[in-house]
Homo-oligomer: A and B are copies of this chain.
Amino acid sequence: MLILVNGEETQQTSALDRGLLYGQSVFETVPIAAQSLLLWEAHLNRLVAGATVIGVPLSPDFLADLSREAHSIASQCEDPAVLRVTVTAGQGGRGYLTPDPVQPTRILSCHPYPQYPVEHYDVGITLGVSDIRLATQPPLAGIKHGNRLEQILARAQWQAEWHEALLLDLDLNVVEATQSNVFLVQNGVLLTPELDRCGVAGVMRDYLIAAAQSIGVDTQIVRLSLSDVEAADEVFVSNSLIGLWPVERCLSRHYQSREISSKLLKILQKNEVIPNH
């Protein structure tokens, strides 16, 4: 597998990296199609914003190297593929104090694009509801950081028939799904949860909100409950790799409508922001 650590081709990184010691890292998973990084600028912007919050500001030189290496990997990967970019606080000894100056490490790796069942797009998925509750941590909300034990616990608890699972916060608001964001359609309006307390603000989530706007569908970013999910006309989940999957079943509901999600999926395909599959 092709891996670049600070520009060097290797399978290894420091055993004392702060990403490993404390999870002081941010990451992106970026689809690659026809040797191109899809929505690269949006991924890079989110990475930079998140890195700053966790105490790892990234210099223009560092970002230029990172971007060059990402494009280099894209040009060498089998098509389609997935680029994972991880940026950590690098080496800096034991202890919670971030070194000053911090010397970030970047790890870029190329992975096979997952073989998603075509039925997930055509028929839709079964969406479970996880027992794991997302903890409220406003300073870290929205960031795709490397502290992912909640998602690991949630993923481990999926029931056999689930294709994804909703995650609620402690106040029982629906926040997201294990590895995707969630959208509801209610009376022709798109609804998606606020991510000010927890959750990851997906690059695809932002793209879909803009795409919906472009076809005259407004999005409201609000607190949502399981009752809202059950009352919705249409439900779908999104992330950068899948694009979106309509939800066929969740709780007691079978959702018939694909009105908005099918239009949005066509936009994603037409604009080539997800690989063809």
Q: Is the CB of B15 within 8 A of A155?
A: no
Question: Taking A16-B109, A145-B149, A151-B22 as contacts, is the C-beta distance between A94 and B84 under 8 angstroms?
Answer: yes
Q: Bound complex: CA of A94 vs CA of B109, how far in Å?
A: 10
Residue of A22, A84, A139 contacting most chain B CB atoms (<10 Å): A22
- The complex is assembled from copies of this chain, and their number is 2
Among A41-61, those with CB < 8 Å from B are 54-55
Q: Bound complex: CA of A54 vs CA of B10, how far in Å?
A: 28
Q: Is the CB of A16 within 8 A of B29?
A: no
Interface of A is mostly: mixed
Among A77-96, those with CB < 8 Å from B are 82, 84, 86, 88, 93-96
Question: How many of A's residues come within 8 Å of B, CB to CB?
Answer: 58
A5 within 8 A of B: yes
Q: Is the CB of B178 within 8 A of A150?
A: no
A135 within 8 A of B: yes
Given contacts A12-B15, A13-B20, A23-B148, 10 further A-B contacts (CB under 8 A): A3-B15, A3-B16, A11-B14, A20-B86, A24-B149, A55-B152, A98-B155, A133-B137, A135-B137, A140-B150
Q: What are 23 contact pairs spanning A and B, CB under 8 A? A: A5-B15, A12-B12, A12-B15, A13-B14, A13-B20, A15-B107, A20-B107, A20-B146, A21-B86, A22-B23, A22-B151, A24-B148, A54-B152, A55-B152, A84-B94, A95-B179, A96-B148, A96-B155, A98-B155, A136-B170, A137-B150, A140-B153, A147-B149
Residues of chain A having any CB pair with chain B under 8 Å: 1, 3, 5, 10-17, 19-25, 27, 29, 54-55, 82, 84, 86, 88, 93-98, 107, 109, 111, 132-133, 135-137, 139-140, 145-156, 170, 178-179, 198
